[in-house]
Amino acid sequence: MRTLVTGLHRSGNSVMAHLLSEATGKTLLDDPRWVIEHPVSGLAYRVNPKYYQELCEFDIVKAPRMVESLNNLLVNFPDISIIYMVRDPRDVYASILEKIQAKLPTSMLDNKRFGDCKSDWEGVARSFNYYTNSIMYIERNFQNKIYFVDYENFFLNKQIYIEFLSKQLRFSILNSKLELILDKQYNTDGKSPFDQAIKGPNRWRRDINQAIAQEIYDLTEVATTRLKEHCNQLKYEIKQSFTTLLD
């Protein structure tokens, strides 16, 4: 494993990981089930050599729940780079609701491990804050390079982000292939064709109750501000590397 793509689920992890993999020809391990289902989650590779070997065999690993055990993972994989996807938690909740309304199986609302929650949306807010604290701990205490990617900017500038990150990760990019895959949707989970377009920013304005949206905002405002500062730093670095500016 050379690169871990992670962040709260429904934050663009799949799109980022697949675009990066397909654009560069690097191998991708996409959300291994054992990270979700094993009792020790992301640490299961320590008790099952098969899982450890699996991590070693792929260039890119996409695993949102790896955030929860990232400090331990870095002991065994000290040289990996991390792409951390950041999406408005209100949009995250809206995206999860879409999956549930489509009657698709998911454990994304199973957030009891983050404390008692009076509602599903509070569970999402708590998990957002927990993930933020976890990645900030890594940022402060480890030397690994972390790329904080703002979903909203990535959505609008996918090619620029993929080209920049590929260069930073020292992955050779296949430009002719990149143009063909930029708007491809991943993990459609049996959605109808109408739902297969990648959803953009601010979907919460039309998809969830506005009182709930405000509650989520209030609970996650501090964490969101912290993450956005890091996202803006990456945005600045990209601006210095490309003549096309990200607005």
Question: Measured between alpha carbons, how far is 213 from 112 in angstroms, rounded to an integer?
Answer: 21
Distances (CA, A) of 108 to 13, 99, 158: 14, 10, 25
pLDDT of residue 196: 40
CATH tag, 3-241: 3.40.50.300
Q: Enumerate the domain spans of the chain.
A: 3-241
At 159, which amino acid appears? Q
Mean pLDDT value across the chain: 87
pTM of the model: 0.90
In the predicted model, residues of the chain with pLDDT beneath 50 are 188-197
User: Strand 28-30's sheet: what is its strand order?
Assistant: 28-30, 60-62, 3-6, 81-86, 146-150
pLDDT of residue 190: 46
pLDDT of residue 199: 64
pLDDT digits (tens, 9 = 90+) for 60-119: 999 999 999 999 999 999 999 999 999 999 999 999 888 877 777 677 777 778 778 889
pLDDT of residue 90: 96
